[in-house]
Structure 1
């Protein structure tokens, strides 16, 4: 069995996430405290009690989701003896790539928390509220070619690109609102359903360049080490161990496409991965894994019982 740990992105957050882990394991509580200390913010209380509109803010959701993922990983290691060395690869969806890097020891937990706080703030600053938009194109006819055609139609009136190639039947577009609206019309003509997303900014598109510039400056000052497992990156959909390449790709990722479908296909194919374990809040990536790589096993790890049964199965 070849194992890959995968880490969720924004949208998986929910009030109460990580609380079962915190109640059951001191190692999880340590992670949440370290993140609180790094941010000089009681993020763990916000995660536990809300309000939801504050947790959903990008600058809070991003470090919070990372904290839950890292609480899972530290608990697996400290309580069950399962360390990152058991994985052939790690990968994360958008902000989840930071979780993957932290889990693999490439960036410290405190640095990762601060970088994600800044990433959320920088993305929010990059485009005034209401000027950008994102939409999910879904349905059996939806594939990358259809999404590219819809984005091309949108590009006739403004910036519009494919932001997330999640899986066949689920592709996200992003850009200026008028352009995304035009792309939605085209997608419907082509036979897809289109759902406008309730997001605060148009992520993973060229409008995020000011945020990419901010992250380039911050990442240049962060300490990177070789990860304990190769990281299959969003930008390349290929693995790398090179700290400087990982640093550069995190900058490119702010404006670039999340090539998740390709990443999963590579891991399940050339990478030989037969089991995907989603470490963190929710089960979004587990569902995607089952659609993209149906021959592989996929499990979500976010409750104490999940961790125990997973450790016993190894």
Structure 2
């Protein structure tokens, strides 16, 4: 598959740094950057020695940049106040404009707690020392979303093959449902490759792709249906402005966690904040119940992100930091 220049540059943009730190022969790390160790085999960075641990006076939190940051600053406000009480720290919401910027912020030490979207989780884990431990789920503990390929009524596109010769929008190269999964599936199931059988556009965010289709700016788009459901519930688009022509298997949703070098006692309090948050009456519930979420459940990167890593492998994605 020919990789668009945008992708090659985008993936490299936040990985262009020199690896250093832990490099001893007794430091197994798998695909993790050379700064990290993984002695217990859980595929995330181990807690470093005490001298390398951090205990910030203010915890910086960022939500994955899939939609309007201003909207989500309010949505997360009640939860962040709960985290302040649980941790005894000030907590500040940090709006990020791209997956690359979010990963770079954590790698540089400017971001301590975050929700990384499905596709960028592996890069955050391997290059920034992200340690995901929870995600949202429905009341019955079920979780996940599907990648959908959507178009607009009257587009002339009734099935995936009809996209040939048309323009299809992706979000960004780090997005699972917005780029990696649809690219792999289109190639494997329909023998269609970007830049050959169809033209591509990159919108930057799921809501941009969805709005672009609804407004007939794009012929089709690959999106996370959880985002689309919330946009329909909020009245941003009407359900009859789009139609689905393909729906994937279920993927894990945004993974929430902390940077690997938080002081263990503080990291444990961050986990407690997620585990003890009362969803009832919260803005978080009002927003996320639109796509079914009603609680946080414990997860592991090694287990829950296996399907995502398999797609990355099929796509030839490297987690190496340079």
State if a TM-score over 0.5 links the two structures. no
TM-score range with shorter-chain normalisation? under 0.3
**TM-score, normalising length: structure 2:** 0.23
Q: Which has the higher helix share?
A: 1
Higher relative contact order (CA 8 A, sep 6+): 2
